[in-house]
Amino acid sequence: MLRNFLTVAVRNLRRNGGTTAINIFGLAVSLAVVLLVLLFVREQWRIDRFHSASDRIHRVTTLRMNDGAHFATAPTPLPTALRESAPGIDAATAVDQYGDTFVVRGDTSLGVEAMKVDASFWQVFDGFQLRAGSRERLLAQPHTAVVTLEMARRLFGTDNPVGRTFLHEGETEYTVTGVLAPPDGPTHVGGDVFLSLTDASSAGGDADAWGDVYSQWTYVRLAEGTSASDLEATAGILFERGAQPEDASDYQLSVQSLATLRFGPRLWNEIAGRLTLSGWTFWFIGGLAAVLLIAAGFNYVSLSVAQSLRRAREVGVRKTLGAQQSQLVGQFLGEAIVTALSASVVATMLLGGFVPLFNNLYLLDLLEIPPLDLNLLLDPAVIGLIALTGVVVGLLAGAYPAFVLSSYRPAQTLRAQGDSSRGGGSQRLRSALIAVQVAVTLFLVVTATTMLRQTWHMATADHQLRTDRVASVALQDVPYDTFRDAVDDLPSVQDVAAINNLMLGPSSYDTRYLRSSLVETPIKTVSFAVDTSFVAHMGLTLRASVSNWDRAYVQGDGVLLNQAAVEKLGFDSPSAALGAEITEDRSETSGVGRTVVGVVDNFEYTGTGEVYGGGLADPEGPMMLYANARHYKYALVRAGSDDLAVLRGDLKDAWTERFDTLHPFEFRYYDDIVRMRYGPLQDVAYLTGGVGLLTILIAALGLLSLATYQVQTRTKEIGVRKALGASVTDVVVHLSWPFAVLLVGTALVTTPIAWVVNHGWLQWMPDAVDVEGGIVVLCVGAVVGVCLVTIGMQTVRAARLDPATTLRDE
Amino acid sequence: MIQTENLKKVYRTDEVETLALNGVHVEIDAGEFVSVMGPSGCGKSTLLNVLGLLDTPSEGRYAFDGQEVGDHSERQRAKLRKGNIGFVFQSFNLIDELTVYENVELPPLYLDIPSAERDERVEAALDRVQIAHRRDHFPQQLSGGQQQRVAVARAVVANPKLILADEPTGNLDSTNGAQVMELLSDLNEAGTTIVMVTHSPADAEYSARTIHLFDGKVVSENFIEQEYAAHPGA
Ligand SMILES: Nc1ncnc2c1ncn2[C@@H]1O[C@H](COP(=O)(O)OP(=O)(O)OP(=O)(O)O)[C@@H](O)[C@H]1O
Ligand SMILES: [Mg+2]
């Protein structure tokens, strides 16, 4: 029986070659995207699965009560306290992400990513395997370290690394006691170097230490039978007992399982960029893939139902020969599954093209998501997943046609050949499916276009801040003056300025509270430490200033305000603020005096945080610039020519020769920093647009085969019409008209919705473009146009046929 | 084998109601060869569909092989049909995607007959209609007469008790038609009950009895002898 199903399935699919190709290709395109998402989700799902009973691993987190901010960190003494006094816990560890740093051995200095962990780390995350060294009391001694195999090679070559030493940041000596094998899966607590964190255990129960909830992460391996809420209760009691009363009421501890860590919301203080598939990302890309899959599934349903006229006779014959409905359902489902499985094979090949595109996404870089590895496709689990997806999709797409087709009554279907009334009922269904496809396509295309316009706007907007030909160099321990004096005269350098946090970038900004005698309450003000040359070199407009403002600014307590700050602090005009004494709060009771020496125009400096939510700064809000050489963290260097590579080379030489042989040279083009503002949106636009294009493709393919099919079944009618005197145009219009009405109707309904939705999200953007009527109309016109041309091609061809041929055919 | 009482079949479409069968009484014994004749649209095919359990009557009683089937569900009817009733249609109704062999193989397949026996039966059926040499051809590659012979093979392969044939020669020339009629009367002689709709008096002569339908009613039942008496030399 199965063989018979398959034979018929394959022959049927082959006989309707065009339709089959369209079905397979459409499904393959969408399946490829679905597989991509599944692979991505699977990689995310595998994070830290390689530890034993990984569902027992939890993280204690901290809720700040006054603003609801949820931090991934927990009070510093908590792991020790849990270990010492909490029941039901197998292990608890303190983790301190040290982040990017460097280690030195002999005269090599290597940039590494470091973690500081205590000895319990290896019990909580027990899936990490050692290549050398002993797990026993690993990292229990101060100044010991575990390094990855790769790092061991780079530091010590082929020598046995255990017992050898390196200098962390060129200062502190660490002895290697273990070498880590490459882990069996992705992890969110990885690094190149694990340094012993021994001071935490000694911190014990000091109340002030309990108040430090931002520094360290606490991971716990629960004993069997202990629940997350048990741990939450215990941790809460320990915290209340240990902390100062006001801290205990300011914060509340909560517990997160690894599962919510993988897909849950991103918390503040997240340990690394690796845990990144926040619910939103997941839903977004999953949603896009689902839309595509549904569009392709619709094609399958719509084409199968269209063919039902012809298949109806087959059903009738089979039923008279003794087939039960269930057997026929099996047969049609079988066909759908064969189609979907063939599509999976094509999809796997397409995936080879999609994965590199996906890996190119800037977002992955920004969030430190490792790229997808195409070798994954060789993994039996992945192959199984692909096959399973094919079967599931086949079942879903085939269910409706299978049910409809198999329910035909034999007496009806055999009675009359070519009785087209049967197509009538499903006509409405097919129209609805097309309408939904076209609507989704329109929506995606309009949205992607709007996003791209916003991206371009943000990429090219005149930020007032002149960042062209500018690069930033992290000063690290080099005093700014030294750096400037050394590079100022280089021929490739035009200007140099200093700042503490990069404007338009991903950093969060400092805020201060300012008071003036003119207003009651202190004014929350974003502040930047910049040197005097910053104003001119970065193109700020000095609206008003005292004479020789730069001297007062650098030497004394002089500050520059923007116009918003001037207004908020109660001054009538920029010049009225000049020379005014204001106070910068340092605590509830004390402050330092400041003098306003100049006023600059408001300008855009907000960064990634402000664009994507979570940022606090408002470009139209008050801002203060002050001088403090000790605060400067970056030198901003403008190149004398457009060739920034020369600048980079010169600065790097200067850096290694003159200042610092320890710290790695950190150089970034300002364009790359600004890109963080619009790059993610650009990715979202590319994804949406890409999926939009694919849905147009799928919808057009579906229309093509529907039109083809319709024309085929109506050749006789066309012949008769022409024999009776209809012109080619008459026939084309007659055949295309219902499609045209459907398409235009769909466009009329969808366009306003797309408009409103896009207008809506743009409101969240700082410095937003507006939805442009002309462009929306253009998008809609393009989509409808593509569809009409598709239909037209078929109808024109049919209308051209010589009526004699079509009529003779019977 | 077949007993009906007051069979009615009403087709309702949007505008009109057609009374395709209007109180049909027929009784057909096992082993009979019966023709059904009548003008176009009088309800012959409808009657055959109802007798073949492909359609349900709107009213009336129908007993097939001693079993009351009037209120059988679609499922039950399908089950009863399987292996008991074979069909031959005017337009052959072979499945285009299947070869001759595979078309004939379908009924035993649906009966879950094991493959060795199935193979034997299919071969035998193909031999019987002398089409075995075309076993791997597709229907489109055969002439009309050959296709109808395949259809007959398919109708008999499961050894049904009853064969229903709706104008089996309607699309065939007289030579091919005669071949098919010979096949049917051979089958009848071997014991199969046959009910055949036809417009051709010549074909009706193969049967022992003819039922005449008019406007959904049986108007006369003539045995072949009476028919001869009425139309000598026809
Ligand atoms: N599915 C249906 N819906 C509506 N009316 C039907 C349907 N099937 C048959 N009829 C009507 O019932 C009547 C009997 O039809 P039937 O097919 O049984 O005629 P017939 O005697 O086989 O004619 P012919 O010799 O032309 O094949 C006709 O008037 C036909 O129009
Ligand atoms: Mg008929």
**What confidence category does residue A803 fall into, taking pLDDT thresholds of 50, 70 and 90?**
low
Quick one: pLDDT at residue B231? 56
Q: Which of B9, B16, B42, B214 to mutate to test the pocket of ligand 1 (most atoms within 8 A of CB)?
A: B42
* Most ligand 1 atoms within 8 A of CB, residue of A408, A409, A413, A415 to mutate: A415
pLDDT single digits (tens) A739-773: 899 999 999 999 999 999 999 888 877 777 888 88
- Taking the C-alpha atoms of residue A97 and residue A275, their distance in angstroms, rounded to an integer, is 14
Residues A72 and A2 placed together within one structural domain of the fold? no
The mean pLDDT value for A273-281 works out to 56
Q: Is the pLDDT of residue A461 over 80?
A: no
More confident call, A477 vs A153: A153
| Model pLDDT, residue B119 | 93
Summarize pLDDT for A375-411 with one digit per residue, the tens: 777 888 888 888 898 898 888 888 888 887 787 777 7
pLDDT for A763 equals: 81
| Chain A residue whose CA is closest to B57 | A411
The token duo for A226 is 């202990």
Q: Is the pLDDT of residue A275 over 70?
A: no
DSSP A272-333: -TT----HHHHHHHHHHHHHHHHHHHHHHHHHHHHTHHHHHHHHHHHHHTT--HHHHHHHHH
Asked if the Cβ–Cβ distance from B75 to A409 is below 8 Å, we say no
**Nearest CB to A324 within list B75, B93, B158:** B75
- pTM for the model stands at 0.69
The tens digit of pLDDT for each residue in A23-42 reads: 888 888 888 888 888 888 88
pLDDT digits (tens, 9 = 90+) for A557-605: 899 999 999 999 999 999 999 999 999 987 767 788 899 999 999 888 8
Reported as a single tens digit per residue, the pLDDT across B100-114 is 998 898 888 878 889
Written as one letter, the residue type at A396 is L
Q: Is A207 left (phi over 0), alpha (psi -120 to 50) or beta?
A: alpha
Ligand 1 binding residues, C-beta < 6 A: A 412, 415; B 11, 13, 18, 20, 40-46
**Quick one: which ligand is closest to A419's CA?**
1
Task: Report the mean per-residue pLDDT for chain A.
Answer: 83
Q: In sequence order, what are the residues at sequence separation of 6 or more whose Cβ sits closer than 8 angstroms to the Cβ of residue A44? A: A186, A262, A263, A276, A277, A282
CB of B71 less than 8 A from some CB of A: no
- Give strand pairing partners of A559: A596, A626
Contact check, Cβ <8 Å, B55/A409? yes
pLDDT digits (tens, 9 = 90+) for B136-150: 998 888 988 899 999
Q: Supply the pLDDT for residue A810.
A: 36
Q: Is the pLDDT of residue A807 over 70?
A: no
Tell me which of A568 and A280 has the higher pLDDT. A568
Q: Residues B177-203: pLDDT tens digits? A: 998 999 999 999 999 999 999 999 999
Q: Is A780 exposed, middle or buried (0-12, 13-18, 19+ CB in 10 A)?
A: buried
pLDDT single digits (tens) B107-135: 888 788 899 999 999 999 999 889 999 99
Closest-CA residue to B180 (of B83, B90, B102, B52): B90
Measured in angstroms, the CA of B220 and the nearest CA of chain A are apart by: 26
- Whether the per-residue pLDDT at A147 is higher than 60: the answer is yes
β-pair type (A542-545, A591-600) = antiparallel
* pLDDT(A208) > 70: yes
How confident is residue A274, by pLDDT bands cut at 50, 70 and 90?
very low
Task: Look at ligand 1, atom 30, and give the residue with the nearest C-alpha.
Answer: B41
Phi, psi of A540 (to 5 degrees): -75, 150
Q: What number is the average pLDDT over the span A648-657?
A: 86
**Predicted local distance difference test score (pLDDT) of residue A200:** 47
The CATH H-level superfamily of B1-82+195-234 is P-loop containing nucleotide triphosphate hydrolases (3.40.50.300)
User: Is residue A199 assigned to a domain?
Assistant: yes
Q: Is the pLDDT score of A12 beyond 50?
A: yes
- Ligand nearest to the Cα of B42, by number: 1
pLDDT number for residue A587: 72
More confident site: B96 or A503? A503
Q: Which residue of A has its CA nearest to B98?
A: A8
- From the CA of B9, give the closest atom in ligand 1: 12
The answer to whether residues A658 and A769 belong to one domain is no
Give the minimum alpha-carbon distance from A9 to chain B in angstroms, rounded to a whole number: 9
Distance from the Cα of A2 to chain B's closest Cα (Å) equals: 10
Question: Chain A within 8 Å of B12 (Cβ-Cβ)?
Answer: no
A83 belongs to a structural domain: yes
Atom of ligand 1 nearest to the CA of B21: 14
Q: Which ligand is nearest to the CA of B166?
A: 2
Asked if residue A303 is part of any domain, the answer here is yes
The verdict on A141 and A242 lying in the same domain is yes
Domain contains A269 = no
Q: Which domain-ending residue is among A231, A264, A297? A: A264
Question: Where do the H-state alpha helices sit in B2-143?
Answer: 44-51, 74-81, 100-110, 115-128
CA B41 to ligand 1 centroid distance, Å: 5
Strand partners for B11: B18
What pLDDT, on the 0 to 100 scale, is given for residue A692? 87
The protein residue with its alpha carbon nearest to ligand 1, atom 19, reads: B41
DSSP state of A658: I
CB A447 within 8 A of CB A754: yes
Interface predicted TM-score of the whole assembly (ipTM), two decimals? 0.73
Residue A668 lies in a domain: yes
Last residue of a domain, one of A675, A704, A728: A675
- Nearest CB among A4, A317, A411 relative to B55 is that of A411
Domain residue limits at A317? 1-46+276-421
Count of beta carbons in the 10 Å neighbourhood of residue A396 = 16
Residues A548 and A583 in one domain: yes
Cross-chain CB nearest to B110 (options A11, A322, A417): A322
Mean per-residue pLDDT, A657-662: 69
Nearest to residue A527, comparing CAs of A382, A437, A624? A624
CB contacts, 8 Å: B81 with chain A: 320, 322
Q: Based on the domain organization, do A319 and A410 belong to the same domain? A: yes
In percent, the amount of chain A with pLDDT more than 90 equals 26
Q: Give the per-residue pLDDT at B212.
A: 92
CB contact under 8 A, A8 and B83: no
- Contact list in A for residue B87 (CB cut-off 8 A) is 320-321
* Residue recorded with tokens 């999200």: A761
| Reported confidence tier of residue A365, pLDDT bands at 50, 70, 90 | confident
Smallest CA separation from ligand 1 atom 26, residue: B40
pLDDT of residue A660: 60
Least confident segment among A184-188, A235-239, A282-286, A317-321 = A282-286
Top-confidence residue, A293 or A471:
A471
C-beta atoms of A414 and B158 within 8 A: no
Q: Which residues of B touch A317 (CB under 8 A)?
A: 93-95
Same domain, A452 and A487: no
What atom in ligand 1 is closest to the CA of residue B199? 25
Which of A323, A325, A411 has the CB atom closest to B54's CB atom?
A: A411
Contacts of A360 (CB under 8 A, 6+ apart): none
Domain boundary assignment for chain B? 1-82+195-234
**pLDDT at residue A423 is higher than 50:** no
What does the CA dihedral A616, A618, A621, A626 come to, rounded to 10 degrees? Answer: 70
Does residue A222 share a domain with residue A288? Answer: no
Report yes or no on A645 lying in a domain. Answer: yes
What local confidence, expressed as pLDDT, does residue A421 receive? 43
Q: Quickly state the pLDDT bin for B213 (edges 50, 70, 90).
A: very high
Q: How far is the CA of A559 from the centre of ligand 1 (A)?
A: 99
Predicted confidence band of residue A203 (pLDDT cuts 50, 70, 90)? very low
Residues A640 and A700 in one domain: no
Same domain, A475 and A444: no
Residue A463 has pLDDT above 80, yes or no: no
Query: Are A476 and A447 in a shared domain?
Result: no
- Asked whether residue B227 carries a pLDDT value surpassing 70, the answer given is no
**How confident is residue A201, by pLDDT bands cut at 50, 70 and 90?**
very low
CB distance A324–B78 less than 8 Å? yes
Number of domains composing chain A: 4
Contact present, A369 and A37 (Cβ < 8 Å): no
Asked if the model's pLDDT at residue A5 lies above 80, the reply is no
Indicate the residue among A647, A675, A703 that finishes a domain: A675
Tell me if A643 is assigned to some domain.
yes
> Which of these, A453, A578, A454, A465, lies nearest to A516 by C-alpha position?
A578
Place of tokens 């202990």: A226
**Do A669 and A685 lie in a common domain?**
no
Pairing of strands A165-168, A172-180: antiparallel
For residues A273 and A188, what is the distance between their CA atoms, to the nearest angstrom? 8
Same domain, A626 and A479: yes
Q: With 80 as the cut, is the pLDDT of residue A619 above it? A: no
Residue of B nearest to A11 (CA): B97
Residue A484 lies inside a defined structural domain of this protein: yes
pLDDT tens column, A290-323: 888 888 888 888 777 777 666 777 788 888 888 8
Mean pLDDT of A246-260: 88
pLDDT at A806: 56
- Quote the distance between the C-alpha of residue B67 and its chain's center: 20
Q: What pLDDT is recorded for position A278?
A: 61
